[in-house]
Amino acid sequence: MTDAGKATLHALQPQHEAIIIGAGVCGIYMLHRLIELGVDVTLLETGEGPGGTWYWNRYPGARFDSESYTYGYSFSKKLLQEWSWSEHFAGQPETLRYLTHVVDELELLPHMRFGCTVKAATFDEDSRAWTVELENGETLTTRLLLTAIGMLSAATMPRIEGVDSFQGKSFHTYYCPEGVRVDGKRVAVIGTGATGVQVIADIADKVAELTVFQRRPNWCAPLHNGPIDGEEQAKIKASYDEIFARCRKTPGGFLHGPDRREFFKISKEERLEFWEALYRSRGFGKWLGNFRDVFMDPRANAEYSQFIADKIRERVDDPATAEKLIPQDHGFGTRRVPLETHYYEAYNRDNVHLVDVNETPIERVTPKGIKTSEREYEFDVIVYATGFDAITGAFDRIDITGSNGEKLREKWRDGPETFLGLGTHGFPNLLILAGPQSGSVSTNFPRGIEETVDWSTQLIGYFRAQDYRRMEPTAEAEKEWVEHVKSFYEGNMIADTKSWFTGYNSNVDGHDTLRYMVYFGGAPAYRERLAEVADHDYEGFEFS
């Protein structure tokens, strides 16, 4: 090659081989694997420290509802042995400490840049590289762009007039200030999803008055958290291999997998006994360890919903309040089930009030509080537990432009289209980690993450070994994957229900129809498919 040719090639060399966006559970592990592989990689993160979801969500009551010891990284025996979870379901501060510890142990900090928000990313066909633009005006170039930007990281505020006029303290739970004080205050909580339920249960006995604004109740069930004593700790540490082996077998990557016995072949008495035991047990068993038919057969679902409704009636003193807390528009488990600690009992307190916004809609937020069609309530603090532009929202917030000038947010306007939830046609050299339609979004997060990241690391290893410059999922492979994802929506009661799993959000334009966001085929089938693609030289990707 001539000197001029070499100079041109050099000028086209991007600054980095890889950039990862996001320092959450996924970004941290991806960074570790790429450093191991010898890739020149930089991680960019908006927050001032690592942790992602666990960095941001500092609201009172924030904690795991999958077992802590199934949530940690499994790749390092050393990390597993040196870290001791204090509770079965650890709170946010402990989880953040854990992730910070991992980052320190793996010496990842020098590769991470905090306070960096990516505003735009554009693929340049000449250099086969991405130009990444930061909010501070800086630009970086990279061969590969990897997004680890979270499923629930684009918080959405309700579209209520006057939100900015409130003169007390108010925040979305995702942006809750560290150590916020609500003791002795008059507090409003809007929203009763998994987050609202945790907040309400946590602060009910601390605040002067708590008013909950509920639009649709969710089916909640007891978490049964507890401390882990020395003996149990030793047992957990000695059985990590079995714990992770069990998680690998279940569709969701959790300890709890479905009971495949035929619902109606079991006597009613036996079913009730089984459910009573589930209700008394720790964690997600009430949802994920239930009869499979409960999610496939409306009659089975109605019977279980009735069982849980009766539990709510037993736990809530005032019958009218109990009825308001029982969902009428969907069956148990067809939306995300919040696990709770004394949530229903909170409504037995004199200082806790439930406002059904269907009966008395919120008209506006005022400088002093909230005005409904009935009256004005005065508050010191308003907590917006109003959820997220889930799964694709974080992508829409970045101006991502592909090879033909196509915008990702335009391509995905009516819903995501991906190959394996890991890449999308028209956007070369972009790896979407734990993206929409991937196995990770429907899985106990780190379990799915580790597999996705390991697979992506191998793909990048292959890309480098072959000295490729460009890779992209083909349009055909993508079409086939999207159809495959859709096929699991048939006859699936979760897919028939409006929630963030299915892409509904009344606070985001256009999110009022079904979107195929989630891969419902289960973690084992997803894992198999990934292995098959890798075994066939990443069939479905085009390399050059």
Number of residues that bind ligand NA7 (CB under 6 A): 21
| Rounded least distance, CB 216 to ligand NA7, Å | 3
Sequence letter at residue 107: E
Give yes or no for residue 50 binding ligand NA7 (CB under 6 A).
no
Residue choice 106, 189, 312, 385 for contact with ligand NA7 (CB under 6 A): 385
Q: What is the b/e burial string over 125-150, where b = at least 16 CB atoms within 10 angstroms of the residue's CB?
A: eebbbbbbbbeeeeebbbbbbbbbbb
Nearer to ligand NA7, 346 or 477 (CB): 346
Give yes or no for residue 193 binding ligand NA7 (CB under 6 A).
yes
From residue 254, give the alpha-carbon distance in Å to each of 288, 340, 432, 530.
Answer: 8, 18, 23, 20
Which part of the chain contacts ligand NA7 (CB under 6 A), choosing from 41-49, 91-99, 180-188, 382-390?
Answer: 382-390
Residue choice 500, 520, 526, 541 for contact with ligand NA7 (CB under 6 A): 500
| Rounded least distance, CB 203 to ligand NA7, Å | 15
Nearer to ligand NA7, 43 or 201 (CB): 201
Which part of the chain contacts ligand NA7 (CB under 6 A), choosing from 344-352, 384-392, 413-421, 451-459?
Answer: 384-392
Residue choice 336, 342, 368, 407 for contact with ligand NA7 (CB under 6 A): 336
Give yes or no for residue 435 binding ligand NA7 (CB under 6 A).
no
Residue choice 51, 52, 196, 253 for contact with ligand NA7 (CB under 6 A): 196
Query: Which residues neighbour 42 within 8 Å (Cβ) at sequence distance 6 or greater?
Result: 16, 18, 19, 20, 111, 112, 113, 140, 142
Residue choice 26, 152, 210, 530 for contact with ligand NA7 (CB under 6 A): 152
Is the distance from CB of 426 to CB of 407 less than 8 angstroms? no
DSSP assignment of 21-55: E--SHHHHHHHHHHHHHT--EEEE-SSSSS-THHH
Give yes or no for residue 497 binding ligand NA7 (CB under 6 A).
no
Is the distance from CB of 421 to CB of 440 less than 8 angstroms? yes
| Rounded least distance, CB 142 to ligand NA7, Å | 30
Q: What is the 3-state secondary structure (H, E, C) of 299-327?
A: HHHHHHHHHHHHHHHHHCCCHHHHHHHCC
Helix (H, G, I), strand (E, B) or coil at 134: strand
Which part of the chain contacts ligand NA7 (CB under 6 A), choosing from 113-121, 208-216, 271-279, 413-421?
Answer: 208-216
Nearer to ligand NA7, 202 or 472 (CB): 202
Is residue 378 exposed (0-12), middle (13-18) or buried (19+ Cβ within 10 Å)?
A: middle
Query: Which residues neighbour 328 within 8 Å (Cβ) at sequence distance 6 or greater?
Result: none
Query: Which residues neighbour 369 within 8 Å (Cβ) at sequence distance 6 or greater?
Result: 166, 168, 186, 188, 376, 377, 378, 379, 382
Give yes or no for residue 195 binding ligand NA7 (CB under 6 A).
yes
Q: How far apart are CA 379 and CA 282, in angstroms?
A: 35
DSSP 291: B
| Rounded least distance, CB 289 to ligand NA7, Å | 18
Residue 63 main-chain phi, psi, to 5 deg: -160, 170
| Rounded least distance, CB 387 to ligand NA7, Å | 3
Give yes or no for residue 507 binding ligand NA7 (CB under 6 A).
yes
Sequence letter at residue 10: H
Q: How crowded is residue 49: how many other Cβ atoms within 10 Å of its Cβ?
A: 15
| Rounded least distance, CB 190 to ligand NA7, Å | 5
Which residue from 413, 437, 417, 436 is spatially nearest to 427, judged by alpha carbons?
417
Give yes or no for residue 387 binding ligand NA7 (CB under 6 A).
yes
| Rounded least distance, CB 263 to ligand NA7, Å | 26
Rg (Cα) of the chain, in Å, rounded? 24
Helix (H, G, I), strand (E, B) or coil at 123: strand
| Rounded least distance, CB 337 to ligand NA7, Å | 9
Nearer to ligand NA7, 166 or 388 (CB): 388
Nearer to ligand NA7, 206 or 215 (CB): 215
Residue choice 37, 79, 357, 482 for contact with ligand NA7 (CB under 6 A): 357
Nearer to ligand NA7, 45 or 65 (CB): 65
| Rounded least distance, CB 131 to ligand NA7, Å | 33
Nearer to ligand NA7, 16 or 330 (CB): 330
Give yes or no for residue 386 binding ligand NA7 (CB under 6 A).
yes
Bridge partners of residue 213, in order along the sequence: 190, 355
Residue choice 169, 206, 216, 409 for contact with ligand NA7 (CB under 6 A): 216
| Rounded least distance, CB 103 to ligand NA7, Å | 22
Give yes or no for residue 449 binding ligand NA7 (CB under 6 A).
no
Is the distance from CB of 290 to CB of 333 less than 8 angstroms? yes
Residue 332 main-chain phi, psi, to 5 deg: -55, 135
| Rounded least distance, CB 157 to ligand NA7, Å | 8
| Rounded least distance, CB 147 to ligand NA7, Å | 19
Quick one: tokens of 199? 């907040």
Residue choice 215, 224, 292, 349 for contact with ligand NA7 (CB under 6 A): 215
Using CB atoms, what's the residue nearest to ligand NA7?
193
Residue choice 39, 108, 194, 308 for contact with ligand NA7 (CB under 6 A): 194
| Rounded least distance, CB 38 to ligand NA7, Å | 35
Question: For the chain, how many helices (H) and strands (E)?
Answer: 19, 20
Give yes or no for residue 166 binding ligand NA7 (CB under 6 A).
no
From residue 290, give the alpha-carbon distance in Å to each of 67, 285, 287, 480.
Answer: 17, 7, 6, 31
Give yes or no for residue 442 binding ligand NA7 (CB under 6 A).
no
**Residues of the shown chain interacting with ligand NA7 in the complex, contacts defined by CB under 6 A:** 152, 158, 190-196, 213, 215-216, 336, 357, 385-388, 500, 506-507
